[in-house]
Amino acid sequence: MEKGLAVFDLVLRLSAIVAGFASTSIMETTDQTLPFFTRFFQFHAEFNDLPALIFFVIANAIASGYLVLSVPFSIGCIVRPHAAGPRLLLFIFGSVVMGLTISAASASAAIVLSSQWG
C-alpha cells in the first residue's frame, strides 16, 4: 500500500513538473494587443507590465524547480517505503511551495480581475 502511494506521488510530481514548466513558459512568452478607447489606438500588454504576474511566473519557476529536485526523494520513497524522513521532508517543502504557488496565483488573479473591473 505504501509503495503504491509512493508511485502515485511520483506520477503526480512528474505531471506537476510538466504543468509547471508549461504554465511558466506560456505566461512568459505571451503578449496581447488590446484596443484602447477605439480599435485604432492599441495597447501592447506583456506579463512583465504587472508585478503580480512577474511574481506568478517566478513562483511557478521556483515550484517547478523544486519538483525537479524532489524527484530523487520521491524515488527514494518508492525504494524504501517505510522511511519516514524523506516523506516528512517532501511533505514540509511541498506545503511551503504550495503556499507560494497559491499566493502567486491569488495575487495575479486579483490584479487581473481588478484591472478588468476598474
Is residue 62 within 8 Å of residue 114, measured between CB atoms?
no
Q: Enter the pTM of the model.
A: 0.82
> In the block, which residue shows the cell 502567486?
104
Type and span of the H or E element at 40: strand 38-46
**Tens-digit pLDDT string for the chain (118 aa):** 888 889 999 999 999 999 999 989 988 888 777 666 666 777 777 777 778 888 999 999 999 999 999 999 999 989 998 888 889 999 999 999 999 999 999 998 888 787 666 5
